[in-house]
Amino acid sequence: MSEETTETTYEEYVEDRTPKQIEEQQQGNMSLLRHLDELRTRLISSFIAIGICSAISYFFVEDIVHFITAPAGKLYYMQPAEAFFTFLKVSLFSGFLISLPVILYNVWVFFLPALTPKEKATIGILVPASVLLFFTGIAFSYYFVLPAGIKFFLGFASADLQPLLSIGKYLDFVVAFLLPFGFIFELPLVIMVLAKIGLVSSTFLRKQRRMLIFLSFVIGAVISPTPDMFSQTMIAVPIILLYEISIIIVRFILKK
């Protein structure tokens, strides 16, 4: 009895639908398919950009490896295929960094139709700013933090204990050291956006200063490539400084 009632109710629902309602549902289904097709197009475009940039990077991989390994000096490879796979990793990593503006552009274009003109203008500023801050963080880590870290760890060498650095392990260490700073340098931009939409203020940020200091060391302990206090501090200190800069920007520039 319940099944017949449910079936009758469904049939009545279908029969009672107007042609306009049917057309709206069809348009909704077509819109979903268009969004999925657009997403597939943007993903393919991003992967093609990474592939092309990685292939180009491979032609200059020796120069890139020389640039990356400069803070450590002479390195070695312990297995026959280690140098080859390291070169591939360097090419892919470089290709990803070079194609990052293209990737962010595809993300922006995908969401563009759903944004208002004001939101489009805001995104048009945020995307280049985020890319600039990301590369600034990586450059800061490479030129200031990484050499200090390498010098610190190599300082444990002695007459009886000499460092023998593997190119593969060194690359993993460098990537784990550089990438976090790229994301850490996005902190002022994130806080500015939150302040702009009214979620935080300079007063609120000042009250949370102690909590941020604690969390910065927790983050340093989590993302640090090594468990030592030095690496964790080298990550935590920039977070704290960027937080203080964000408070100044929110208070005196955004007037929040």
What's the chain's length in residues? Answer: 256
pLDDT of residue 92: 93
Residues ≥6 apart with Cβ < 8 Å to 97: 135, 138
CA distances in angstroms from 117 to 87, 121, 122, 130, 193, listed in the order given: 44, 6, 9, 20, 17
Q: Which helix (H) or strand (E) holds 87?
A: helix 82-111
Model pLDDT, residue 90:
92
Q: How many CB atoms lie within 10 A of CB 250?
A: 24
What pLDDT score was predicted for residue 5?
47
Whole-number CA gyration radius for the chain: 26
The reported pLDDT for the residue numbered 29 is 47
The DSSP line for 213-227 is HHHHHHHHHHH-SSS
Are the CB atoms for 65 and 90 separated by under 8 Å? yes
Local mean pLDDT, 10-residue blocks, the chain (256 residues) = 47 52 48 78 92 94 90 84 90 92 84 74 81 91 86 82 86 86 90 85 90 90 76 86 91 80
pTM here is 0.77
Q: Is 13 exposed, middle or buried (0-12, 13-18, 19+ CB in 10 A)?
A: exposed
What pLDDT is stored for residue 57 in this prediction? 93
Q: Note the pLDDT of residue 78.
A: 84
Q: What is the DSSP letter of 178?
A: H
pLDDT of residue 127: 82
Q: Enter the tokens of residue 139.
A: 């450059």
